[in-house]
Copies of this chain bind each other. A is one copy, B any other.
Amino acid sequence: MTLTYTGAQPLAAAEVETIRADFPILHRTVGDGAQLAYLDSGASSQRPKQVLQAEYDFATTSYAAVHRGAHTLAGEATDAFEDAREAVARFVGVPAQGLIWLRNATEGLNVLAAALSDPQAGRYALQPGDEILITELEHHANLVPWQQAAARTGAKLRWIPLTDDGRLDLANIDELINRRTKVVAFAHASNVLGTVLPVAELVAKAKAVGALTVLDACQSVPHLPVNLTELGVDAAVFSGHKMLGPTGIGCLAARPELLDALPPVLTGGSMVELVTMETATFREAPQRFEAGTPPVAQAVALHAAVNYLSGVGMDRIAAREHQLAQLMLDGLAGVEGVRVIGPHTAENRTATVAFAVEGVHPHDVGQVLDAAGIAVRVGHHCAQPVHRRFGVNASTRASAYLYTTDAEVERFVQALGTVRGFFGRS
């Protein structure tokens, strides 16, 4: 598989500067006055003025509770909310009624795992002897809910192992995806290794045995052009805060027919039809999965975020990040004592690069970089198993986005070069 973005023109340096002007926070200094270089977008991205403005405008002109009102504000708010649903759904290539607003991507995976653990899911319900297949590089969000589903239903959790290069080891894939496999759940891109997974191949094999496919698209939707319908997955999740949107909103996108077959997980207002003291009937998807007041303001802001991304062009963002990945890999290759954890080449890889510094703990690495203004993440990045696979407890991770400059990557590499000396390790 080669990625669709290879053809597009990367953002030019001047365009990146124009983009940066939209992000006030990128211009601040930290610590003793060092200019911030924000290389932590893999954890959470920053919001441009356009997104903040959209939320402000909505709050000061049209906000009200949605769906249940006869008054003007309620109507305007409902329109804005449902327009957002259409726009975000279009952004990832699914119909609006297949897009559910939740708290974050984690909740989306929990909802799926819980619904599939419920006997009311009918033919989709997990049974003893069934198999759930994940991979060894998953974020805890795409691991622990499936552990719980397996424990609850008697299904067995299995996983695709990794090569030393941080790619999927597909040697035994035809044994791993077999007639017992009911769910194949995997990240589109790893939040640690940066690896982009072979979605088409996994989907084809899952389809061949009638298994559902669940894509953790948290690290792909913000960075690559993603069309979930074309990818052919049955369900996918992603989070607003990683794609220029606010916290407090995540999306579960799924084939409407699948949603219609699944029981609700959270219950309450707005998702019911007829309620008596003894019983309740439930509405159709997406409402059935949206109990209580939804993240209205956050949906409106996320709408502005996808408009921003589309305005720049996801293909061009992907092409630019491909450049950045190359720049980071090249830079790190030149720093003594640094070992990249994950693919050493930029092919099928995002601009998220985790690494170990010989003799220096990631916390200390991060601290020295922070003093130079460089914000990276340290720890296990909610993916302990993949760290264990590569023989470490934790790592340092730099992750770029559309607003990252070459100069920032260079400053990062340069500062990293001072780390071992600071701790007397060279």
Contact = CB atoms under 8 A, between A and B. Distances in A.
Interface stretch (A36-44, A194-202, A223-231, A327-335): A36-44
16 contacts: A36-B72, A40-B65, A43-B68, A44-B293, A70-B363, A70-B367, A70-B377, A73-B375, A104-B293, A104-B294, A106-B268, A107-B291, A141-B291, A144-B275, A157-B278, A276-B384
A147 interface: yes
Contacts of A363: 70
B266 A106 contact: yes
A291 B110 contact: yes
Contacts of A25: 59-63, 73
A56 interface: yes
Residues of A contacting B: mostly: mixed
Interface string A145-161: 10110000000010100
A196 to B, nearest CB: 21
Given A144-B275, A248-B249, 19 more contacts: A25-B59, A25-B61, A40-B74, A47-B63, A56-B56, A64-B375, A69-B379, A70-B370, A74-B375, A104-B292, A106-B269, A107-B266, A110-B267, A140-B268, A140-B275, A144-B280, A247-B295, A247-B296, A269-B382
Interface string A341-369: 00000000000000000000011001101
A278 B71 contact: no
A143 interface: yes
A274 interface: yes
Give the copy number: 2
A415 interface: no
Contact of A378 (B43, B70, B374): B70
Interface of A: 24-25, 28, 30-31, 36, 38, 40, 43-44, 46-47, 52, 55-56, 59-65, 68-74, 102-107, 109-110, 136, 139-141, 143-145, 147-148, 157, 159, 239, 241, 246-250, 266-270, 272, 274-280, 291-298, 362-363, 366-367, 369-370, 374-379, 381-382, 384-385, 388
The interface centre, meaning the residue of A63, A141, A145, A269 with most chain B CB atoms within 10 A of its CB, is A269
The list of the 6 closest CB pairs from A to B, nearest first, reads A106-B292, A248-B248, A70-B366, A269-B382, A141-B268, A106-B268
Contacts of A63: 25, 44, 46-47
Given A248-B249, A280-B147, A366-B70, A28 B65 contact: no
Nearest to A77: B44
A43 B56 contact: no
A311 B406 CA distance: 47
Contacts of A103: 102-103, 107, 248, 292, 295
A246 B59 CA distance: 9
Contacts of A102: 103
Contacts of A293: 44, 104, 106, 239, 241, 247
A366 B44 contact: no
A140 B110 CA distance: 22
Nearest to A44: B65
A407 to B, nearest CB: 18
A238 to B, nearest CB: 12
